[in-house]
Structure 1
Amino acid sequence: MNTLAAFRAFRELLPVLRPEWRGMLWTYLIGTASMLGLAGLTVLTAWAVGHAVVERTPPGPLWWALVLGIVLLRVVLTWREMDVSHALAYRVLARLRMALFDAYARSVPGRRREHSGRAAAVAMDDIEKLEFFYAHTVAQLGASLTLFAASLVTASALLPEAALVMLLGAAVVASSALYWARAARRLGEREQRERSDLSERIVDALGALREVLAYGLALRIIVETSAATARAATIARRRELLSQLVTAVRELILTAVVIGVIATSATAAGVLSEGAQVRLPPAELPALVALALAGIAAVVDATDTLTRLHPLVSGAERVAAGINRPSVVTVPEAPRQLPDGPLGLRFRDVSFSYEGRPPTLTSWSTELAPGEHVGLVGPSGSGKSTVIALAARLWDPSAGSVELVPADGGGIPVADLDDAALRRAVALVDQDAMLFHGTVRDNLLRGCGPRSDDDLAALLERVGAAAWIGLDDELGEGGVRLSGGQRARLCLARALARRPRVLLVDEVTASLDPATERLISGVIAEFRGTVLIASHRAETLARLERVVDVSPSGLVTARTRG
């Protein structure tokens, strides 16, 4: 990857941040004014020293007024810069995470067999680093280059030779970034890969904590995690040593430029040779040197910043890849709304396959009348969960259509519906449904409108949970304090809180005890709406009006339960 490719990685994320461009410009302007103010103070101080030493004249009232004004302005600008940049940083963080979440919502990671640990590293680690880049670093780079340009123009007006020395020095400093770029990028990419792999290991270990304890894997995981951390730390140290070496070289270049400016300025001021033509008053010599130092130091800072950006390149590429990932559901150009009243479900010649696998469904069709309760049965891998996911529009079929059917019988493809309307009408309870960190109330209100505590308490009573948990109880991450049956009850209550017209249930009773299964099956049976439930449990299927058997060949047979 070359430097231009690295900049393209950062540029790909700019469209997502379009609403923040004004804030980025404002941060640049404030930062530039602050930098110019500091350079102005330095030059004015050097000018005063030069005149005091050479001409024995102290600075006048105008000088003091300028210095005091710039100092006060710097105080205001520094405070304002911190305020604006920090607010911008939070907005950038939110924009990138929202864009990434939206992309994942349109393209379910599970279909592509992606690791959640790597996704978590992108969402947390990579975006947090990029937040600082777009909110602070871009403005800093722009301000540094503007300061150099202003210093170069001013030096050209005072003494062209000094400006030429500055320009040559800046070119050498800038070329050092290109010279060391390949090694820095390579180390940065290796460090990011190690950190992503480490995130995967940690997520795997935490997600399988019971297995880790049962098989005595804790020590092995600790050793592997420590080794991965050590590798990442070693790469980071090597990258930092390289950065320090390059910084030392740039400081030598900066010293050489200052010496060159002093030599050319002293010659022009007639300090080095008597009788020479004086083209620069000796009293102005310190001010010119200070001006050159400020300009070339800005280039050094900008180049040093660019060198340190290489670890972010792979992170920017991963974030961009996540945001620009292909969607598994299409966005309708003219979304349709759903009519009021009960809804049925219709599958018309639906085909679907996961990436790299044979088709799970081929020309599959069935229909549920409004208010009908239907079960899906079949061996593992026959497509029961896939049918549920297609009905919930987690994915779109590769062929055919899934429709919601109003009372008049006219089907409305779910692909043509406004997404908010679809989510209000259809609720999904998955076997692996997650509870969010927070209280029971927080979880029940996820994805639905306002509900009174009385309504929520009635839901807990309805699913048999009111005796062992309350609305203000904390659940912990993923409902870790609950049993499988307790989680299933709360997930069902959360779906019912949305008052859907179609309820989709995927193997939610698969691993429950008989008493809990009977309770949940009873709650589903009492649901006044359409139900499509995938299950292999006799107790659950016995309460349904009809059962559809999805065979591996894609054929469908139906039998009615009496």
Structure 2
Amino acid sequence: MKTLSASRAFRELLPVLRPEWRGMLWSYVLGTASSLALAGLTVLTAWAVGHAVVERTAPGPLWWTLVLGLVLLRVVLTWREMDVSHALAYRVLARLRMALFDAYARSVPGRRREHSGRAAAVAMEDIEKLEFFYAHTIAQLGASLTLFVASLVTASVLLPEAALVMLVGAAVVASSALYWAGAARRLGEREQRERSDLSERVVDALGALREVLAYGLVPRIVAETSDATARATTLARRRELLSHLVTAIRELIITAVIIGVIATSATAAGVLSEGGPVRLSPAELPALIALALAGIAAVVDATDTLTRLHPLVSGAERVAAGIRRPAVVSVPRAPRGLPAGPLGLRFRNVSFSYEGRQPTLTSWSTALAPGEHVGLVGPSGAGKSTVIALAARLWDPSEGTVELVTAAGEGVPVAELDDAALRGAVALVDQDAMLFHGTVRDNLLRGCGPRSDGELAALLERVEAASWISLDDELGEAGVRLSGGQRARLCLARALARRPRVLLVDEVTASLDPATERLVSDVIAEFPGTVLIASHRAETLARLERVVDVAAAPLTARDTGG
């Protein structure tokens, strides 16, 4: 059952890699041909040695031609196999990460209270290990099994008794691998869990670095990290020791198989029994032994690889679970285009709840006319950020509809719109909006079409950022070199660079100083389209035409003058 579940974990990812199946097959063909060429060289060499020792004859021109041909073939195949498998590895890595990223983009991890450290471990560590499995290991397993079958068939033609010894030996080797598989799998799963927990601790510590330093938590975090690393290392050491033990047992089995092949071959050649029928030339004994050794070694390689795959099973299950994540927004079967002209917003009896929590919104309704600037107020947890997220279609409501509304009052549900068109018309500036590693220009151009440097520079002037930063300045990871107010200005400029018709702003002025808040409020007030902004700051709300209390009674949201 465990073996079936392990194979199922790997099979679940194959549909994602369907475009790479041809590459996997080609890698298997090259690997198999290379292994057969090496086995052929080994057998031919043993054959030549046997004839030279027993019959005192040197190999002829045909032998030299075959050997040289196999050597050249082996060189070419090895080079080509490496080229194909490495290229395949990069494509597999990219496809698995793209599939995982697409799944996360559809499901928004934040709604499910998932830890970013564990997600990072899946995206980086697990997929990197699986990339080697799909690009290299599968082909190696297939090549080993093919080589064993070819050796077994050849041996059965030459000497059935030797083939029987090979078959029994292979069965014993495979049985030993299955016997130890359970212990190896359990150790691998425990090790992987420890490493995932370690990733969570590191991400938490780095994300709260100021608090760690302020509260003097460095020694404690270092100690916890050291303990977790020690536990993972101990499990890895135990797994390696188990692997070495299994390897030693297999070597004993190989020795027994070789002795059995030698005994049966020597008997068939009349070396151990005088006067009996001679079915094999003594000069061919080394070749048959080399053939048996190549076949049983292929089985050993395959089983050894299989026992080392157990730590990957839990990784494959996590990646598959990540890719299977249910989407929080539905994909329309026949996406509709956006209507032309100004757009407003309308919420009709919208309900929404986060997983495992009480409903945040229940039958909530309000409307924004095209070009209207409206604020959202309410206590923490009332649903202000949720309304903004629903308008941006980061999630779909559990009930009700969110619509974009034309000047004529025609509503188009955002769930029916083409996603690219929706993203082009609606821009979001979040309180925790992130800047990407790269230049200011790179960040301003994220998610929008081509823009001239003149237009981008004008946006920097508009948010009064041109005096302290230029388009070519590097921001560092997440804009680490900037203050909160500077990041807010660049995030607002990035949203405006998309030329949206609806601007959604979530608490972007919450932690800004009065001067920066006034500047951001001025820029938002000058925006010619529709604005929906969640805020509790009086300065920000005072510039708006209308304020809606999210916590007011359903269907009759209380509007107060701004």
The bucket for the TM-score relative to the shorter chain is over 0.9
Give a deviation string over 1:96-125, Cα, whole Å, max 9, x none: 000001001110111110000000000000
The separation in 2 between residues aligned to 1:407 and 1:208, in whole angstroms, is: 47
- The equivalences for 1:86-101 within 5 A come to 86-101=86-101
The separation in 2 between residues aligned to 1:437 and 1:49, in whole angstroms, is: 64
2:507 matches 1:507: yes
Residue identity matched to 2:448 = C
**Is the contact between residue 107 and residue 327 of structure 2 (CA under 8 Å) also seen in structure 1?**
yes
Give a deviation string over 1:45-84, Cα, whole Å, max 9, x none: 0111111111111111111111111111111111111111
Secondary structure of the residue aligned to 1:4 is helix
The separation in 2 between residues aligned to 1:320 and 1:460, in whole angstroms, is: 43
**Is the contact between residue 165 and residue 261 of structure 1 (CA under 8 Å) also seen in structure 2?**
yes
Residue identity matched to 1:228 = A
The separation in 2 between residues aligned to 1:317 and 1:172, in whole angstroms, is: 30
- The equivalences for 1:103-502 within 5 A come to 103-502=103-502
Give a deviation string over 1:389-420, Cα, whole Å, max 9, x none: 00111110000011111233221111111111
**Is the contact between residue 85 and residue 136 of structure 1 (CA under 8 Å) also seen in structure 2?**
yes
The separation in 2 between residues aligned to 1:407 and 1:181, in whole angstroms, is: 67
Secondary structure of the residue aligned to 2:360 is strand
Residue 545 of structure 2 aligns with which residue?
545
Secondary structure of the residue aligned to 2:293 is helix
Q: Which runs of 5+ in 2 are unaligned?
A: none
Residue 556 of structure 1 aligns with which residue?
557
Q: Which runs of 5+ in 1 are unaligned?
A: none
CA RMSD between the two structures: 0.9
* CA drift at 1:452: 1.5
The separation in 2 between residues aligned to 1:455 and 1:469, in whole angstroms, is: 15
* CA drift at 1:340: 2.2
Residue 42 of structure 1 aligns with which residue?
42
The separation in 1 between residues aligned to 2:402 and 2:153, in whole angstroms, is: 67
The separation in 2 between residues aligned to 1:495 and 1:236, in whole angstroms, is: 48
Secondary structure of the residue aligned to 1:365 is strand
Identity of aligned residues (%): 87
TM-score, normalised relative to structure 1:
0.99
**Is the contact between residue 117 and residue 200 of structure 2 (CA under 8 Å) also seen in structure 1?**
yes
The separation in 1 between residues aligned to 2:396 and 2:495, in whole angstroms, is: 22
Give a deviation string over 1:499-541, Cα, whole Å, max 9, x none: 1111110000001000000000111111111111000111111
Give a deviation string over 1:342-370, Cα, whole Å, max 9, x none: 11111111000011111100111111111
Secondary structure of the residue aligned to 2:489 is helix
* CA drift at 1:560: 2.8
Give a deviation string over 1:149-172, Cα, whole Å, max 9, x none: 111111111111100000000000
The separation in 2 between residues aligned to 1:404 and 1:63, in whole angstroms, is: 80
The separation in 2 between residues aligned to 1:288 and 1:426, in whole angstroms, is: 74
Secondary structure of the residue aligned to 1:381 is coil
Residue identity matched to 2:66 = L
Secondary structure of the residue aligned to 1:128 is helix
Change in Cα spacing, 1:339 to 1:381, as seen in structure 2 (3 Å) is: same
The separation in 2 between residues aligned to 1:141 and 1:407, in whole angstroms, is: 65
**Is the contact between residue 388 and residue 534 of structure 2 (CA under 8 Å) also seen in structure 1?**
yes
Residue identity matched to 2:118 = R
Secondary structure of the residue aligned to 1:556 is coil
Residue 64 of structure 1 aligns with which residue?
64
Secondary structure of the residue aligned to 1:328 is coil
Residue identity matched to 2:247 = T
Residue identity matched to 1:559 = T
The separation in 2 between residues aligned to 1:264 and 1:449, in whole angstroms, is: 76
The separation in 2 between residues aligned to 1:391 and 1:101, in whole angstroms, is: 22
* CA drift at 1:552: 6.2
The separation in 1 between residues aligned to 2:255 and 2:478, in whole angstroms, is: 58
* CA drift at 1:553: 5.0
**Is the contact between residue 382 and residue 552 of structure 1 (CA under 8 Å) also seen in structure 2?**
no
**Is the contact between residue 336 and residue 416 of structure 2 (CA under 8 Å) also seen in structure 1?**
yes
The separation in 2 between residues aligned to 1:411 and 1:47, in whole angstroms, is: 84
Residue identity matched to 2:293 = L
The separation in 2 between residues aligned to 1:64 and 1:425, in whole angstroms, is: 73
**Is the contact between residue 552 and residue 558 of structure 2 (CA under 8 Å) also seen in structure 1?**
no
The separation in 2 between residues aligned to 1:76 and 1:339, in whole angstroms, is: 60
Residue identity matched to 1:560 = G
Residue identity matched to 1:423 = R
The separation in 1 between residues aligned to 2:177 and 2:451, in whole angstroms, is: 59
**Is the contact between residue 336 and residue 418 of structure 1 (CA under 8 Å) also seen in structure 2?**
yes
Residue identity matched to 2:14 = L
Give a deviation string over 1:290-318, Cα, whole Å, max 9, x none: 01100000000000000000000000000
Residue identity matched to 2:334 = A
The separation in 2 between residues aligned to 1:34 and 1:445, in whole angstroms, is: 49
Give a deviation string over 1:205-247, Cα, whole Å, max 9, x none: 0000110111111111111111111110110000000001101
How many residues align structurally?
561
Q: Which moved more, 1:312-321 or 1:476-485?
A: 476-485
The separation in 2 between residues aligned to 1:143 and 1:436, in whole angstroms, is: 44
Residue identity matched to 2:415 = A
TM-score, normalised relative to structure 2:
0.99
Runs of 4+ in 1 over 3 A off after TM superposition: 552-555
Give a deviation string over 1:254-308, Cα, whole Å, max 9, x none: 1111111111111111111121101111111111110110000000000000000
Residue identity matched to 1:496 = L
Residue identity matched to 2:234 = T
Residue identity matched to 1:420 = A
The separation in 1 between residues aligned to 2:390 and 2:43, in whole angstroms, is: 69
Residue 22 of structure 1 aligns with which residue?
22
Secondary structure of the residue aligned to 2:558 is strand
